[in-house]
Amino acid sequence: MPSLGVNIDHIATIRQARYREDPENPNVEPDPVAAALLAEKAGAKGITAHLRDDRRHIQDRDILRLRESVTTKLNLEMGVTEEILRVALEILPDDVCLVPENRREVTTEGGLDCRSNLDVLRPAVARLRGRGIRVSLFIDPDEEQVESAADLDADFVELHTGAYANAAGTDVERELQRLQSAARLAVARGLRVNAGHGLNYRNTPAILGLAGLEELNIGHSIVSRAVIVGLEQAVSEMCGLIEKE
């Protein structure tokens, strides 16, 4: 049965909307670390945070405090830049998920093009794994990308579920088939399988049967639900949905 990793970026987004220019204000809230601990209490098996190059939400100090506080697993999402690589190699998260990054995007828009960036990704993967950090590559459910991820000696692929989450009508089944094919190939190539992006309380059940699926990383939907029912209940509901299947 897959486990749930909760992405807390949007907790930091709410904080930064008001306190970006005044981080020392004693009224600064909400606290992403407090949210991470509540998510763990409610059943999350991991915490995900994306330290972006532009620091639009999660800050360096958040990652430091998360490393000190998270008792399940800390998964650091990051672009492949020397600055963020240095942070990862200093903080030593349990997992790193390498993602594409565009300053103009609202959220990650697609998967890494591993095939075209082997020369950039290979040394980054090697450096991270050399420090005992498990490495995941966030990729579209494309067979060439899976093959390239395997060639890079990654530990995991995280299949980008955005196209599936946004699909309608007959496209839903087509996107599910793409995910299933990519997951099967990943397992055959010795890769472990995670998935995430755009998943919510409606579309998650259908992907729980993906071959080798170990973890779902979900953020926006849980934080949105938390506005209504509270974070512990929102996380507990998602854990229950996953366990039910």
DSSP 8-class letter at 93: -
Task: Please calculate the CA angle 34-37-42 and round it to the nearest 5 degrees.
Answer: 125
Give residue 223's pLDDT. Answer: 97
Query: What pTM was computed for the model?
Result: 0.94
Say if residues 46 and 73 touch (Cβ distance below 8 Å). Answer: yes
Centre a 10 Å sphere on the Cβ of residue 31 and count the other Cβ atoms it contains.
15
- Within 8 A by CB and 6+ apart from 243, the residues are 1
CATH code: domain of residue 87: 3.20.20.70
pLDDT tens across 162-210, in order?
999 999 999 999 999 999 999 999 999 999 999 999 999 999 999 999 9
Residues taking part in catalysis: 50, 77, 197
Q: What does DSSP say about strands 213-218 and 95-98: parallel, antiparallel, or unpaired?
A: unpaired
* Chain position carrying tokens 């007959």: 170
Number of domains comprising the chain: 1
C-beta separation of 117 from 139 below 8 A? no
Q: What is the pLDDT of residues 41-69, one digit of tens each?
A: 999 999 999 999 999 999 999 999 999 99
- Other Cβ atoms closer than 10 A to 80: 17
Provide the residue count of the chain.
Answer: 245
pLDDT digits (tens, 9 = 90+) for 9-43: 999 999 999 999 888 898 999 999 999 999 999 99
Residue type, 16: Q
